[in-house]
Amino acid sequence: MRILGYYTFAFLQAPVANEPGEAFGGLLGLIARSSLISQFVLASLLVFSVASWAVILFKLWQFRQVDAQTSTFVTIFRKSRKFSEVQSVCKSLAASPLSGVFQAGYVELNAQLRDAESPGGDPVTGGAPRPALRSFEALDRSLLRATNVEVNKLERHVALLATTASITPFIGLFGTVVGIINAFQEIGATGSTNLAVVAPGIAEALIATAAGLFAAIPAVYFYNHLTHRVKVTASTVDDFSLEFLNIAERYFSG
């Protein structure tokens, strides 16, 4: 990364010939002398690029936490004999969406328990009586609502990548058009088609195009990647909800 930074800095500072024997300061100098509209375009693209990379890095970190804690939660859930044991570790595994879904189901279970006694153990309280549920449909709705909440958390901010991917090429195209217009205006003002007259405007236009692509390409890739991760995690949450319902029906059917 240090070597890449050196090459990038050297590229930005590299002189670009305006006339034979004259340099006009590389990309930074060219941007400094560009029109206000072009500078606004480049500033907008920079804001989109920084925001999208912030979202990318945050979501990659978030999904890393989700995957690790979900694996731990599933192991504890399947090894535990009582729901109360699983409930005790939910706070320490809060990054896993399964934790939120389980807590919603656990609360609904406790709200529906009645005092009817039946043989067998109780995985919620650990006592001998086994309560029965009034409505499995209500439990299903509670799990579904919690699933939607957790999936919405995973999808949060991902839409910014889609916005960046779709709008930044057009912003860059706008900057390109402005640069071309400036180039033709310079030709008209000087009456010359010399490369030294045309080159700054063309370079300004190409910088805007490159900046738009620089912001859009990573946003497209990581939007697709993160959307896929959301779908995989949502599928895992749905499978867990069905497993929770099966256990509830097995132990709490009247």
Q: What is the pLDDT of residue 167?
A: 94
The end-to-end CA distance of the chain, in Å, is: 63
Give a yes or no: residue 14 inside a domain: no
Angle made by CA atoms 209, 211, 213, in degrees to the nearest 5: 70
Total structural domains in the chain?
1
Give a yes or no: residue 40 inside a domain: yes
Give a yes or no: residue 11 inside a domain: no
Give a yes or no: residue 185 inside a domain: yes
| Domain span holding position 94 | 27-252
Give a yes or no: residue 115 inside a domain: yes
- Over residues 24-67, the pLDDT tens digits come to 456 666 666 667 877 888 899 999 999 999 999 999 999 999 99
Give a yes or no: residue 159 inside a domain: yes
- Over residues 137-177, the pLDDT tens digits come to 888 899 999 999 999 999 999 999 999 999 999 999 988 88
DSSP assignment of 44-99:
HHHHHHHHHHHHHHHHHHHHHHHHHHHHHHHHHHHH-SSHHHHHTTTGGGTTSHHH
Give a yes or no: residue 7 inside a domain: no
Residue 9 has pLDDT above 80, yes or no: no
Give a yes or no: residue 21 inside a domain: no
